[in-house]
Amino acid sequence: MSKRSGTVAPLFEGAEWNFDTIQRVYGAIEQVALGDLGLDVYTNQIEIISSQQMLDAYSSNGMPLMYRHWSFGKHFMRDEQLYRKGARGLAYEIVINSDPCISYCMEDNTMALQALVIAHAAFGHNHFFKNNHLFQQWTDAPGILDYLDYARGFIARCEERYGEREVEQLLDAAHSLMQSSVFRHRRPPSPSLREERDRERERLLDAERAVHYLWDRFDRSGPASQTDAAAQERKREMDLPEENLLYFLERHSPVLQPWQREILRIVRNIAQYFYPQRQTKVMNEGCACFVHYYIMNQLHATGQLSDGAMLEILHNHSNVLTQPDFDDPRSAGLNPYALGFAMMQDIRRVCEAPTEEDHEWFPDIAGARDWRGVLKDAWANYRDESFVQQFLGPEVMRRFRLFALSDDSVDPFHTVSAIHDERGYHEIRDVFAHSLDVSVSDPDIQVIDVDLLGDRRLRLRHNRRNGVPLDPETRDATLANVRRCWGYDVVLTETG
Amino acid sequence: MGHFIDRRLNPKGKSLGNRRRFIGRVRASVKKSVDESVRRRGIADVDQSEQVSVPAKGISEPSFRHAAQGGKRQAVLSGNRTFRAGDKIQKPPGGAGKGRGREGSADGEGEDEFLFMLSRDEFLDIFFEDLELPDLVKLSLKEIAAARPQRMGYTVAGTPANLSVERTMRNAIGRRIALRRPKTRETQALEQQIRELEARVPADEAEPPELIKLREELDKAQRRQRRIPFVDPLDVRYRYFEMQPEPAANAVMFCLMDVSASMGEREKDLAKRFFVLLHLFLKQRYDKIEVVFIRHTQVASEVDEETFFHSRESGGTVVSSALNEMKAIIDARYPPSEWNIYAAQASDGENYRGDSATCAARLKESLMPLCQYFAYIEILEENEIGLMQSDDNGMELWRAYRGVADDWPNFAMKRIASPAHIYPVFRELFVRKGGLVADV
């Protein structure tokens, strides 16, 4: 460990924490985070909760408020069961991408852990949420809690008016399409909360006199011809093909009531809100781990953390950042915490002490000295896939002894396509970057056509990537849910 | 700057609503496993939380996802030791896809089943679902022992503690708008205008007419403000409470059992199970419940639970002695105006010759008018149950009680022979009868 300039007394001793101490430690962490690292964060709101409340938070995607649905109850019961049996511990913290940024800390944490968690969540994740371009563009941090509050109220009102059963069935259907209901390529329309409310009111008021797409078309004289031109026109009017299934159903379903459309909208908005998090697992955790590691070391170096506390922190740090080998029974693939952290550390190393190889691989940043600037730029402007493509260097690949495996279902064997050597670096990097791309790992399903004047059959298409099919069982169950929202026949073709 | 909030004292159980919905969704299968587990359980631990498993089929959450097999895939793994580029690794037989599946799941959750714990309350709720206590609320409320204040709207007079600020201010606003009381903001604006004008007009010149007009306006507005008060005594409202009679929420349960030599361990055990169920059931419904144990041979006595179930007595059997004892205890300790009285009697049906008629008479005359419900359980040998299919057959006591049952709808009688019978019989005794209300 680094030398102690040791004139400062440690901020705390022992495992017990109280609010005074936390406040003091928070101050010290903040000084390093803002002063030294120069992070830019939302105002922090740190809430101390009990393990029971942590379980509650787990079950609703970590959000402090959520509408009611049985599936959250199911998750809650499973988590509770696992926790009670001791099969799984609870997270030390949950942090929410909102402004102010809310982080939950468990009351059972020791003081050292609280310090670690505050540095990790309240500064690491917080900075990432506030600065990463995906979060900036696609999520509305100041509005999310208001929106969830509105959503919960709206759905509760619907349950009162139309019955729990009715709402539950619709939510079941909407949830099963959630993954296939994000705008991946174009910017989602993002009306403000007020606009959302107005829209809801208008919809309810206009329910009767609304001119429906269908009837609108019927008014025109003469039957629509079934020519290609008509089909083209029709597709253009409905913006087909459409990748966001719930968005399409919300706009065009012939059978849904206005309140049902609103519920679909709520579900897809929530899916969209979480989409950036799914795209930045490695970076987000890497950023948070790097930040807590740097801050804790800094505090220890100035004597503000005692050796005991630092050892406890390092112990927890390395627990979280273990990367078991591929044949280890604990292995569940690459650990985003470990990889993210290693890459962040590597960037710092490349900036400060580049080798010959680094100059070749990272000509832009090798020896740049200003590693803070380089890291902050990376955190702001990349997502997992592009970040790996840009910054995964040979040093990290060698350390993790990465290798790429390819599998063709027709072959009786797997092939090792690349290992961590001169010839393999690029391929490993490509394969890994590709595997982190959510738009590749999620099935690509689009609405391609529907003839509202004809049989109203909704046509979906799954574009197979590399011939990977859909799981038939869940596919059929999900299609049944699409049918429920569409009201008429739905067919899915798989191509490629 | 960070804000710290201590949420630990916030209400727990935010997920209760979701949990309830989930249990509602799998109700049918949960009910089945609850019923099964009750049959299996010992007496002492009926009242416990329970792990139940429900088929995962009804609660799956499907979505479009990739199949585990098929197509070309690539993955990056860590920890290479001996592989070189181009190595081929034989796939495990059976086409288990790449990598190892998780051998058995650590969480003990199979593919087809979902396991979870029901809390004690949830367990009992489902257990006693569709069951109802006959005449849950005392029929006669002649003597009302307790009364509780209840909100009954608003009044114009009351104590300051009951002042309804919201109502009062609402009335005040309405009155102020109706009487057009000038707002403070308006008078302030006038004052401001006057000050500005005054500043502009030199001291020695005569005041311009608009200034005079403004002054008059201000004066008028201020007088009007004084005349029309901000809050008038007319506006004031108080919350109003009225004393409402409280239905008696206490219950006493009498357990009567024959402990003569003819009642063996088996019979006692069956009786006990029935009593336990009844006790649990009453506990769900009443705030406070007391249990009185009366055992009898040819004489009856009140005993504690331990003695009731475990000590042995020898002697003859005079059932009416227990009924007399029960009547005496009611008279001494449990005035029927304050207590809901339930009784359950278990016996093997033996009685001293001639006593059964006395029992029936005693029940009809003095006990049934006091009781909310009286259940009689006759415990038979396993091989007897076939012989006793018909309710008309039976020993003297059974036949005598039949007469009571005909006269009193809140008297019920059943026969049991094995633990498996108890729960169905219990359900039958207490099943919710659509709209059945005892004729008052």
Residue pLDDT, tens place only, B418-437: 777 777 777 777 776 544 33
Name which of A355-364, B53-62, B383-392 the model is least confident about: B383-392
Instruction: Determine the residue among B15, B52, B72 to mutate to test chain A binding: the one whose Cβ has the most chain A Cβ atoms within 10 Å.
Output: B15
d(CA B298, CA A310): 79
d(CA A259, CA B207): 65
Is residue A189 very low, low, confident or very high in pLDDT (cuts 50, 70, 90)? low
Torsion sign over Cα A277, A281, A284, A289: positive
Sheet with B2-6: strands ordered across: A93-96, A101-106, A44-49, B2-6
- Tracing tokens 């979060």 back to the chain, one arrives at A135
Torsion sign over Cα A220, A226, A227, A231: positive
Name the residue with higher pLDDT: B218 or B103: B218
Is residue A194 very low, low, confident or very high in pLDDT (cuts 50, 70, 90)? low
- Please give the pLDDT value at position B46: 62
Check if B22 contacts A (Cβ < 8 Å).
yes
Minimal Cα–Cα distance from B79 to chain A, Å?
4
Tens-digit pLDDT profile for residues B328-378: 888 888 887 777 788 888 888 777 877 888 888 888 888 888 887 888 888
In the DSSP assignment, the letter for residue A378 is H
- Tracing tokens 């401001």 back to the chain, one arrives at B192
d(CA B175, CA B278): 60
**CA distance to A106, A256, A398, B372, per residue, from A91 (Å):** 8, 40, 30, 53
Which residues lie across from B52 on neighbouring strands?
A: B116
Chain A hits for B72, Cβ within 8 Å: 406-409, 466-468
DSSP 3-state of B3: strand
Check if B386 contacts A (Cβ < 8 Å).
no
Minimal Cα–Cα distance from B35 to chain A, Å?
21
In the DSSP assignment, the letter for residue B137 is S
Name the residue with higher pLDDT: B198 or A201: B198
Q: Do A467 and B71 touch (CB under 8 A)?
A: yes
Q: Are the C-beta atoms of B357 and B400 separated by less than 8 Å?
A: yes
- Tracing tokens 């349950």 back to the chain, one arrives at A159
Q: Is the pLDDT of residue B88 over 80?
A: yes
Homologous superfamily of the B250-430 domain (CATH): von Willebrand factor, type A domain (3.40.50.410)
Domain ranges of chain B: 11-57+111-127, 160-240, 250-430
Percent of chain A scored above 90 by pLDDT? 29
Q: What is the mean pLDDT of residues A87-110?
A: 82
Chain B hits for A118, Cβ within 8 Å: 2
CA nearest A20 in B: which residue? B4
Q: Do B15 and A164 touch (CB under 8 A)?
A: no
Is residue A1 very low, low, confident or very high in pLDDT (cuts 50, 70, 90)? very low
Question: How big is chain B, counted in residues?
Answer: 440
Check if A236 contacts B (Cβ < 8 Å).
no
Which residues lie across from A275 on neighbouring strands?
A: none
**CA distance to A65, A143, A413, A486, B88, per residue, from A152 (Å):** 8, 14, 51, 24, 53
- Please give the pLDDT value at position A348: 92
Instruction: Determine the residue among A48, A54, A70, A470 to mutate to test chain B binding: the one whose Cβ has the most chain B Cβ atoms within 10 Å.
Output: A70
Phi/psi region, residue A118 (left: phi>0; alpha: psi -120 to 50; beta: rest), is alpha
CA nearest B6 in A: which residue? A48
- Please give the pLDDT value at position B40: 64
In 3D, which of B321, B318, B377 has the Cα closest to residue B345?
B377
Which residues lie across from B55 on neighbouring strands?
A: B113
Q: Do B107 and A82 touch (CB under 8 A)?
A: yes
Name which of A107-121, A154-168, B335-349 the model is least confident about: B335-349
Minimal Cα–Cα distance from A193 to chain B, Å?
25
Q: Is the pLDDT of residue A341 over 90?
A: yes
Task: State which amino acid sits at residue A425.
Answer: Y
Q: Are the C-beta atoms of A153 and A402 separated by less than 8 Å?
A: no
DSSP 3-state of A31: helix
Check if B418 contacts A (Cβ < 8 Å).
no
Q: Do B75 and A421 touch (CB under 8 A)?
A: no
Query: Which two tokens mark A335?
Result: 């650990």
Burial B155-171 (b: 16+ CB within 10 A, else e): eeebeeeeebeeebeeb
Q: Is the pLDDT of residue A119 over 80?
A: yes
Q: Is the pLDDT of residue A10 over 60?
A: yes
d(CA A41, CA B2): 11
Q: Are the C-beta atoms of A460 and B79 separated by less than 8 Å?
A: no
Domain ranges of chain A: 19-132+280-314, 144-183+192-205+244-277+443-495, 321-440
Minimal Cα–Cα distance from B72 to chain A, Å?
4
Tens-digit pLDDT profile for residues A456-472: 888 999 988 888 888 88
Is residue A175 very low, low, confident or very high in pLDDT (cuts 50, 70, 90)? very high
Tell me which H or E stretch contains A199: helix A193-206
Count of beta carbons in the 10 Å neighbourhood of residue A396: 20
- Please give the pLDDT value at position B248: 60
Is residue A131 very low, low, confident or very high in pLDDT (cuts 50, 70, 90)? very high
Tens-digit pLDDT profile for residues B371-416: 878 888 888 877 666 665 666 667 778 888 888 888 887 788 888 8
Task: State which amino acid sits at residue A483.
Answer: R
Query: Which two tokens mark A94?
Result: 């949950």
Minimal Cα–Cα distance from B282 to chain A, Å?
29
Task: State which amino acid sits at residue B30.
Answer: V
d(CA B52, CA B273): 22
**CA distance to A321, A347, A421, per residue, from A394 (Å):** 20, 12, 8
What is the signed CA dihedral for B29, B33, B34, B39, rounded to 10 degrees? 150
d(CA A138, CA B145): 65
Q: What is the mean pLDDT of residues B255-259?
A: 84
d(CA B313, CA B322): 15
Is residue A334 very low, low, confident or very high in pLDDT (cuts 50, 70, 90)? confident
DSSP 3-state of A110: coil
A 431-470: CB under 8 A from B: 431-432, 434-435, 441, 443, 445, 462, 464-470
In 3D, which of B339, B401, B413, B402 has the Cα closest to residue B375?
B413
Check if B434 contacts A (Cβ < 8 Å).
no
DSSP 3-state of B126: helix
In the DSSP assignment, the letter for residue A453 is T
Q: Which burial class, exposed, middle or buried, applies to A111 when counting CB atoms under 10 A from its CB (0-12, 13-18, 19+)?
A: buried
Tens-digit pLDDT profile for residues A428-450: 999 999 888 887 888 889 998 88
Chain A hits for B75, Cβ within 8 Å: 333, 404-405, 407, 431, 435
Q: Is the pLDDT of residue B195 over 60?
A: yes
Q: Are the C-beta atoms of A384 and A432 separated by less than 8 Å?
A: no
Q: Are the C-beta atoms of A149 and A396 separated by less than 8 Å?
A: no
Task: State which amino acid sits at residue B337.
Answer: S
Tens-digit pLDDT profile for residues B124-139: 777 776 666 655 454 4
Is residue B438 very low, low, confident or very high in pLDDT (cuts 50, 70, 90)? very low
In 3D, which of A447, A404, A323, A475 has the Cα closest to residue B68?
A475
Q: Do B85 and A464 touch (CB under 8 A)?
A: no
Torsion sign over Cα B296, B301, B304, B306: negative
Is residue A368 very low, low, confident or very high in pLDDT (cuts 50, 70, 90)? confident
Minimal Cα–Cα distance from B60 to chain A, Å?
9
User: Using alpha carbons only, how large is chain B's radius of gyration in Å?
Assistant: 38
Count of beta carbons in the 10 Å neighbourhood of residue A454: 10
Query: Which two tokens mark B424?
Result: 């169905």
Q: Do A413 and B114 touch (CB under 8 A)?
A: no
Contacts of B162 (CB under 8 A, 6+ apart): B238, B239, B240, B241
Name the residue with higher pLDDT: B292 or B101: B292
Name which of A109-123, A229-243, A481-495 the model is least confident about: A229-243
Query: Which two tokens mark A159?
Result: 């349950």
Query: Which two tokens mark B315?
Result: 């002697």
Query: Which two tokens mark A254?
Result: 């012939």
Instruction: Determine the residue among A21, A407, A417, A439 to mutate to test chain B binding: the one whose Cβ has the most chain B Cβ atoms within 10 Å.
Output: A407
Name the residue with higher pLDDT: A322 or B282: A322
- Tracing tokens 């206490």 back to the chain, one arrives at B250
Cα first-last separation, chain B: 70
Q: Do A464 and B71 touch (CB under 8 A)?
A: yes
